[in-house]
Chains A and B, each alone.
Chain A
């Protein structure tokens, strides 16, 4: 009876959603001169950045990204608070198993390559698809692989929180330096460089590298906390 009621409600909701969105059109230009055109024009002419999504996330909406990074930090610290236990023995793991030697050698071989791919993706965030969040997530998957393959692989929580804090502080300091150069918060004060060069876009590349470090440290700490949760 309850399932029938739920399906009825969802059918009505789905019908109205579909009616609303199919009237929008697909693949058509909606505005003569919208926000999109402004961003696409300013990205090349002022910032000299190739990837428009990066220039929106880090420059035009940079304050928003600072809030986003703060939300991620809050989620990780909330998790630590919720899962806090007084008696915590280092090395206690919730999942106890020994992996085969093929998995161990394979993950040892893959680990540096995964880290290198993550670093490449966040350094080239302003030139190609990708950026700090994606690169950080890839680095965290490398640590996840090592934590699964080796029972006694451990990451220092202190080092992780130092990396995280310094990256966050550096982001804010770069934002404040914009004020000192007579602009607004997160204003670009470095030379813009040439389009499609690695050193282009001024502060955008530096900020995305910092975001990459921060996200990698946070996700690694999160995985480590969950993996060492013992009943």
Chain B
């Protein structure tokens, strides 16, 4: 790959993952609807996963799988450790989202609204 293009890619991938984290934080801090806050948390999750995978990338690397024909390619493989960590993080993020959504359902049952402004004693 062209070196100049690779530099733009580096800027783009780190920039995109940090931008995703910031967008998610913005949604969590300013939005009033509880559903939108949970969506913001999921966007933060996605940004962090992209960032971890990016750190483990190797230039011109292959997937860390020893398929037939790639048995001797251990030197060119990308880092498998961040990928295993992200696999764990996705599952934990899923559990967090599920519990948050069920808490929202419970809140809606009591207050009949999803806006945090209208739910008393939850203001900041």
A27 close to B10 (CB less than 8 A)? yes
Contact of B103 among A37, A82, A131 (CB under 8 A): A82
Q: Which of A27, A37, A61, A71 is in CB contact (< 8 Å) with B91?
A: A71
Answer whether A57 and B26 are a contact pair too, CB < 8 Å, given A39-B80, A44-B66, A226-B102. Answer: no
Known: A79-B99, A226-B101, A226-B102. A36 touches B59 (CB 8 A): no
Contact A29–B58 (Cβ < 8 Å): yes
**Counting CB contacts under 8 A, is B51 at the interface?**
yes
Nearest CB of B to A64, in Å: 7
Chain B positions near chain A (C-beta within 8 angstroms): 6, 9-11, 13-15, 18-19, 21-22, 25-26, 29-30, 51, 54-55, 57-61, 63-68, 71, 74, 77, 79-81, 83-84, 87-88, 90-92, 94-96, 98-99, 101-103, 105-106, 108-109
Pairs across A and B, CB under 8 Å, 26 listed? A6-B29, A26-B57, A26-B59, A27-B10, A29-B58, A36-B79, A36-B81, A37-B74, A39-B80, A40-B64, A40-B80, A41-B74, A44-B71, A44-B74, A53-B83, A57-B87, A71-B95, A72-B94, A72-B95, A75-B98, A83-B106, A128-B65, A133-B90, A196-B67, A226-B101, A231-B109
Further contacts, 14 of them, CB under 8 A, given A27-B59, A64-B88, A82-B99:
A13-B25, A14-B19, A27-B60, A37-B74, A44-B66, A53-B80, A56-B84, A68-B88, A71-B92, A75-B94, A75-B95, A75-B96, A83-B105, A127-B67
Residue numbers of A with Cβ under 8 A of B are 2-3, 6-7, 10, 13-14, 17-18, 21-22, 24, 26-29, 35-37, 39-41, 43-44, 50-53, 56-57, 61, 64-65, 68, 71-72, 74-76, 78-79, 82-83, 127-129, 131, 133, 195-196, 222, 226, 229, 231
